[in-house]
Structure 1
Amino acid sequence: MTSLVPRRPGPCRLVYEVDCQRIIEGDSEYISAANETMAKMVYRYPADRQIGDLAQNCTKFKEVYSYNLYTVSQEELDFPIAYTILTYKDAIQTEKLLYAIYRPHNVYCIHVDKISETGPSLLYAMTSIANCLPNVFIASKLEDVIYAGFSRLKADLNCMFDLLHNTDIKWRYVINLPPQEYPIKTNAEIVKILKVFNGTSSIESIHDDKAYYRCNESYTVRDQTIQATGKKKDPPSYNITVGRGSAYGVFSWSFVNFSVNDVKAQEILKWLEDTYSPDEFFWATLASNKHLNVPGVLGFPNRKLWIPVTLSWKANKDCNGKYVHDVCVFGIWDINRVVSEKELFANKFHHDFQPLALQCMEEWFLNKSFSPKPFGTDYYRKLIYSVKTT
């Protein structure tokens, strides 16, 4: 391990009001007490414009937000990773994620919603931050992202186009993220896992009736919402079966290049433009139709290889925080379980909901990054083997 910047020995404390380690360890009695402490705490967060103003002085910004503090190994330097972050509010939350995954040899594209909840101040903040970090940039084309609309997928594709054509960093994989996610694997661990995957993408894909019903009718945008037109769609080209899966994945360079530049991929993308939530179908469809000869995929639907993110759906009833769009926003009672999951990231956290949850995650992750323990990849090797031999 090569330390590019000196660091203090021993565990680092970011949170002084409570002992985060006891929360991470799942000490029930202590978590109850910490919950009472948290209820009495008053939190003040910097506004987007304040963050942007601070980043006008890059030296001060990097000092205050510790962008000069990291460790990186030769194995990591030899395996650059690209990230896209699609953000629409809260520069503070986006910056927390960026800092956690930031390494100077990786590359990061940030897409800011053209009509964000916090207005132009979010773009100002994120542009100011990007100007301070040479391997971070704002997408060259910004979309007005509408929930369940094509613009959501297009935002990711805009960043991926830029990553293919507008950077000299020879990245191996792209991982696309919303700002509400937070890593549970360090950069060093992610590199080890992706080396096991060896060019295979991790994309969720299943074939079910839900895909059919959402893709057999045209939808259009009216009043900033997606509405059905009642018009039936013609069947897609290339005799494909439409797959359904997550909008988020871990995509190899060859898969991204195919998705952005191949004629077949672009025809499928065009067909999906007027469907409901095409971001749930594009990656899954490319990944699960073997006759398309898409590189970096196995060519049949298999959810086992999907490792990007752990999340708790309302139907699972295993959330101790709150639900937003039927997905758990984790609280302090959840993080003991979250940190033990096998996925790369956890979704989702809100910096202003049970704030100690995300703050303790930050402290845990920082110490994990600076004091790495031996990391075994047997689980991921067995996963790859079991799928390829099915």
Structure 2
Amino acid sequence: MVNNIFTHTVLISQSVTERLAHKVDCRRITEGDELEISYALDVIQNGDYNCSSNDDVRNNAQNCELFLKNFNYNRFTISKEEIDFPIAFSLLVHKDAVQIEILLRAIYRPHNVYCIHIDRKSNSSLHDAITAVTKCLPNVFIASKLEDVIYASYSRLQADINCMHDLLNYTDVKWKYLINLPAQEYPLKTNLEMVKILKLFNGTNSIESVYDTTTHYRVNETYKVNPKTLKVENTKQRKPPPPHNMTVGKGSAYGAFSRRFVEFSLNDERAQDLLKWTEDTYSPDETFWATLAINKHLGTPGIQYNALGFPDRRLWITTSTTWQSPGPGVNCHGRYVRDICVFGLGDLQKLVSEKEFFANKFYHDYQPYALKCMEEWIFNRSATSNNLSTDLFYYRRALNFT
């Protein structure tokens, strides 16, 4: 249901190249201009940049009309193609309303639907800020059941499951695909580009799923949360094999899931047996979707297999991540956190040419112009998206189309 509070108009010509980060030239930064990157780093180092807080987000959303206008929630023309192909988003946030609001405004469209899961143990300023934002956006809501999310525990997967249940029960939008995201990701494709690609996928999922014996320690023994440290610990107790003769897969916690796949995951008895089995494993969010995908005998909807009978890795187009690895060469111009690159200004030139939907990850308060320039880049692409030609050759090839 599209609320009539929104008006969608084509940006006038000067807005097509609108600069959102006024102190630096983002176009030059995304083109890899080293002098402009160096200048932007100097601006940041000199403290000439103020980062917002949870309270700022809450205060900004007190006046919905100004909030929607000032933060560009209703600036773009939406094509009939997009309206006919709504997408559901499951968003996870645990500490920073600023970060999730930056992501939300980039992916927001009034015909889509958005569920936000807030870590239940987060401070009240986060809950208050997100609540204020959802009051301004009729198709954005907070999950009906919140979890105390602990890293690598079952609660992380349960948070997504909760939003998925809510999104399936949301009757105003008959969404085609569901994409789950952490707050630290940011789009590399416009909504229209994602629609065109997902239409090409035609029910096929984008799920990372491999058979990796080096991660079997995660499921061969049981794990539990230490209530004092709130960390997952190995009990050293042997765990029985998974149900229904399943092989355990390993993959990302995030993906682009068809509606049929989500319904299967939440309703199929074998899928629910697997979900129960993962409760005392390590990082079940990285095994549940992958295991449903890798076991061909389950008949999981929307899985394309390669000649060896494994899910085709070429279809993993959801997230671009730079992992820390040994060897020469600079792969990350930001810094690493848990072996994942937090992108900096020097990474943008590569990112804007990637094929994936989203980049993981950014911190709004680390090299803040990196995220600000990505925001300017996707803003201007979205403003002209009806005039952009989406190159689908890469995705056709991944789907074995000729």
TM over 0.5: yes
For 2:341, give the aligned amino acid.
C
1:28 Cα offset (Å): 2.1
Matched residue, 1:220: 224
Secondary structure of the corresponding residue to residue 345 of structure 2: coil
Q: Which residue number in structure 2 is paired with residue 305 of structure 1?
A: 315
The corresponding residue for 2:341 is 328
Structural mapping, 1:332-351, within 5 Å: 332-351=345-364
Q: 1:252 to 1:115 in 2, by over 3 A?
A: same
In the alignment, is residue 73 of structure 1 matched against residue 63 of structure 2? Answer: no
Moved over 6 A (4+): none
> CA–CA distance in 1 between the matches of 2:153 and 2:145?
17
Contact preservation (8 Å) 1:6, 1:69: yes
Q: 1:247-290 CA distances to partner (integer Å, 9 max, x unpaired)? A: 01000000000111111100000011100000010000001101
Aligned position for 1:88? 94
1:88-127 aligned at under 5 Å gives the runs 88-116=94-122, 119-127=123-131
Range 338-347 or range 164-173, more displaced: 164-173
Corresponding residue number in structure 1 for 2:374? 361
- Equivalent residue for 1:153? 157
1:69 positional shift: 1.5
**What is the deviation of 1:360?**
0.7
* Correspondence for 1:379: 394
The answer (yes or no) to whether the contact 2:43–2:49 under 8 Å persists in 1 is no
Q: Once structures 1 and 2 are overlaid, which stretch shifts more, 205-214 or 172-181?
A: 205-214
Q: What does 1:241-252 align with in structure 2 at a 5 Å threshold?
A: 241-252=247-258
Q: Which residue of 1 is the match for residue 291 of structure 2? A: 285
Q: CA-atom RMSD, angstroms?
A: 1.5
Partners of 2:215 and 2:203 lie apart in 1 by 27
Deviation at 1:186, TM superposition (A): 0.2
Question: Higher mean Cα deviation, 334-343 or 370-379?
Answer: 370-379
SS of 2:400's equivalent in the other structure is helix
> How many Å separate the matches in 2 of 1:321 and 1:334?
8
Q: How far is 1:53 from its partner? A: 3.0
Instruction: Calculate the TM-score normalised by the size of structure 2.
Output: 0.92
Give 1:6 deviation, angstroms: 4.5
Does the aligned pair in 1 maintain the 2:185–2:362 contact within 8 Å?
A: yes
Aligned partners of 1:144, 1:167: CA distance in 2, in Å?
Answer: 27
Question: What residue number does 2:263 align with?
Answer: 257
Q: Equivalent residue for 2:132?
A: 128
Deviates more, 1:52-61 or 1:265-274: 52-61
Matches within 5 A, 1:28-39: 28-39=34-45
Following superposition, the deviation at residue 36 of structure 1 comes to 2.1
Q: Which amino acid aligns with 2:345?
A: I
The answer to whether the 8 A contact 1:288-1:298 is kept is no
Following superposition, the deviation at residue 239 of structure 1 comes to: 0.6
Shift of 1:204: 0.3
1:137 aligns with 2:150: no
When residues 33 and 64 of structure 1 are mapped into structure 2, their CA distance, relative to the original with a 3 A threshold, is: closer
Tell me the TM-score normalized by structure 1.
Answer: 0.95
Q: Distance in 1 between matches of 2:267 and 2:159?
A: 16
Distance 1:330 1:51 in 2: 23
For structure 1, list consecutive stretches of 5 or more residues without a partner in the other structure: none
Aligned residues: 383
Tell me the residue number matched to 2:166.
162
Given that 1:207 and 1:301 are in contact with CA atoms closer than 8 Å, whether structure 2 keeps it comes out as no
Give, as a single letter, the amino acid of the residue that structure 1 aligns with 2:392.
T
Q: Match of 1:256, SS?
A: helix
Identity rate, percent: 55
Q: Are the counterparts in 2 of residues 211 and 242 from structure 1 also a CA contact under 8 Å?
A: no
What displacement does 1:59 show? 1.8
SS of residue paired to 2:218 = helix
How far off its partner does 1:128 sit?
1.1
- Listed one character per residue, the Cα deviations across residues 333-362 of structure 1 (whole Å, up to 9, x for unaligned) are 110011110000011111111111111111
Query: Is 1:190 matched up with 2:194?
Result: yes
Distance 2:274 2:333 in 1: 40
Q: How far apart are residue 376 of structure 1 and its match? A: 1.6
